[in-house]
Structures are given as structure tokens and as C-alpha cells.
């Protein structure tokens, strides 16, 4: 990880746990209920961040190992019980073949800008036969506003923007079969909450907010936008994909 990345995550880690979407119960529930987690499962949580998914899984599985490239993010997690956290990049192999029953990655792959397919390949390699990958990503609500989506996020961070077909293709290319796709909509997502806890400068926050409220009618309709007092509420589309290693 280069110095710019380290600083980005150091700044973001300070307020990451304040973000409402991070702890949204119904999103976490949808993610966990997307497949058959078992008490005997050993799970790897890729890009674990502050360990939200790892903590949610811990009571229902045997063991969770969370990995993340940022020690600053990991410092905000709670290391106890059957949860273990390691500073590591998924693209730097440390595990043997066929180790894990499940691999999870919630809102992580858009940050893996380089060697993205390699990261997915590694998730496949370390899974046991019959194991499953659970991948969640936010995507543009409709293809027609993808450019708006990209332009907004350009001001926030370096990242990838996926559509459904690209996520499916990436998993299939690694070897995953029987891919199931679930949709989860975050309703009334607060743009202000997101920006205020982003670590961005006020100038960038104001610009991103302006891009929302001055968007086209199609953009506003796609996001089911509501402007209430000093906030902008939108419906955010997320996909949860579950692929199997056969």
C-alpha cells in the first residue's frame, strides 16, 4: 500500500464506524442470510475494515479471520473470541489451498483497483470444494446514470464502478458456479451522513452534495431522491452475489 492509500484509510478510519450504512441491520442481515452459514464454518472476511461483518458472523460460525490492508481500520475492530484480524492484502497469498468454507467481501472489491481479477482468483483458490463466496457491491441504480455515478465518486476516491454483468463475469472467470444474485436497496440513504463521515474536505463535500441536488430528472428519479431540509435522501442499490466452488 502506498503512502496516499495509507493516508486515505487513516483519515477514513476515524469516522468509519459513524457511517449509518456500515451498521445498517437489515443490510447485514440480508448479507448473512444470503447463504447457509454453519456453526462448523471457517470464514475469511476480505477487506474487513473495522470488522463489522466479522463480528456479525462470529456467533454463527466456528471461526472468522478478517484481513485488511489498513492497520488504522483494524485498530477500530475488537480482537477477541473466535475472531482474528490480520493486516494483509488478499492479492498477497498466505493461505493454503482449500482452507475456508466461506469467503465474504462486503463493499470491498471497488477499492481493489489493480489486479482485481487476481483478488477474486485468490478467493476461489482458498475455498474448499463446495465452499461459497459472498460478494456485496453498490452499483448505479440504472445503467443510464453510470457516468453520473462515476463522476461523483471521482471526487471522493479512486475506485471501480461495477454493473451486475461485470461482477458476475469476474466471479465466473475465477471458476465460481451457480451464482445467485440478490438485490438490497438502502432506502433513504443520507448523503449528508455519508459525506460528513467521509474524511473529505468541506469543499469536496459541498461539491458532491451539489452534484446530487442539481442532477438531471432521470438521475433524481433513479435514486428516488428526496431533498429534506439540509439533507438529500436517496435509495442506493446494492447487489449480493453468492458463488460456489464446485
Query: Tens of pLDDT along 178-225?
Result: 999 999 999 999 999 999 999 999 999 999 999 999 999 999 999 999
| Pair type for strands 100-106 and 127-139 | parallel
Per-residue pLDDT reduced to its tens digit, 214-227: 999 999 999 999 99
Classify 176 as helix, strand or coil: coil
Q: What integer pLDDT is reported at residue 3 of this predicted model?
A: 72
| Pair type for strands 231-244 and 127-139 | antiparallel
Per-residue pLDDT reduced to its tens digit, 20-65: 999 999 999 999 999 999 999 999 999 999 999 999 999 999 999 9
d(Cα 60, Cα 33) in Å, to the nearest integer? 11
d(Cα 129, Cα 132) in Å, to the nearest integer? 9
Q: What integer pLDDT is reported at residue 53 of this predicted model?
A: 97
pTM: 0.95
Share of the chain above pLDDT 90, in %: 91
Element (H, E) at 59: none
Q: What integer pLDDT is reported at residue 103 of this predicted model?
A: 98
Per-residue pLDDT reduced to its tens digit, 122-152: 999 999 999 999 999 999 999 999 999 999 9
Q: What integer pLDDT is reported at residue 224 of this predicted model?
A: 98
Q: What integer pLDDT is reported at residue 145 of this predicted model?
A: 96
Q: What integer pLDDT is reported at residue 73 of this predicted model?
A: 94
**Mean pLDDT, rounded, of the chain:** 95
Q: Count CB-CB contacts under 10 A for residue 229.
A: 6
Q: What integer pLDDT is reported at residue 105 of this predicted model?
A: 98
Structural domains in the chain, sorted by start: 3-140+158-187+236-244 (3.40.50.150)
Look up residue 240 and give its three cell numbers.
Answer: 449480493
Confidence of residue 4 (pLDDT cuts 50, 70, 90): confident
CB 39 within 8 A of CB 100: no
Q: Count CB-CB contacts under 10 A for residue 108.
A: 20
Confidence of residue 6 (pLDDT cuts 50, 70, 90): confident
Q: Taking each helix axis from N to C terminus, what angle separates 164-174 and 116-126, rounded to the nearest 10 degrees?
A: 50
| Pair type for strands 83-87 and 42-46 | unpaired
Higher pLDDT among residues 78 and 18, named by residue: 18
d(Cα 53, Cα 233) in Å, to the nearest integer? 25
Cα distances from 8 to residues 70, 143, 151, 161, 195, in angstroms, run: 10, 29, 19, 19, 14
C-alpha closest to that of 142 among 213, 221, 214? 221
Amino acid at each position: 500500500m502506498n503512502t496516499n492509500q495509507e493516508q486515505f484509510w487513516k483519515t477514513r478510519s476515524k469516522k468509519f464506524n459513524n457511517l449509518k450504512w456500515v451498521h445498517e441491520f437489515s443490510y447485514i442481515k440480508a448479507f448473512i442470510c444470503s447463504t447457509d452459514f454453519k456453526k462448523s464454518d471457517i470464514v475469511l472476511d476480505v477487506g474487513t475494515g473495522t470488522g463489522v461483518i466479522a463480528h456479525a458472523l462470529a456467533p454463527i460460525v466456528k471461526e472468522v479471520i478478517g484481513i485488511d490492508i489498513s492497520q488504522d481500520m483494524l485498530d477500530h475492530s475488537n480482537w477477541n473470541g473466535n475472531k482474528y484480524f490480520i493486516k494483509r492484502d488478499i492479492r498477497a497469498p498466505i493461505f493454503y489451498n482449500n482452507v475456508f468454507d466461506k469467503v465474504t467481501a462486503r463493499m470491498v472489491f471497488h477499492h481493489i483497483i489493480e489486479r482485481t481479477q487476481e483478488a477474486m482468483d485468490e478467493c476461489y483458490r482458498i475455498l474448499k470444494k463446495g465452499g461459497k463466496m459472498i460478494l456485496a457491491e453498490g452499483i448505479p441504480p440504472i445503467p443510464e446514470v453510470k457516468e453520473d455515478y462515476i463522476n461523483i465518486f471521482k471526487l471522493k476516491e479512486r475506485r471501480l464502478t461495477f454493473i451486475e454483468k461485470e461482477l458476475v463475469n469476474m466471479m465466473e472467470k475465477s471458476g465460481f458456479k451457480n451464482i445467485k444474485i440478490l438485490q438490497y436497496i438502502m432506502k433513504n440513504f443520507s448523503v449528508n451522513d455519508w459525506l460528513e463521515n467521509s474524511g473529505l474536505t468541506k469543499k469536496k463535500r459541498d461539491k458532491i452534495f451539489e452534484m446530487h441536488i442539481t442532477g438531471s430528472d432521470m438521475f433524481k428519479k433513479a435514486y428516488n431522491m428526496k431533498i429534506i431540509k439540509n439533507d438529500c435522501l436517496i435509495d442506493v442499490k446494492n447487489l449480493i452475489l453468492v458463488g460456489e466452488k464446485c
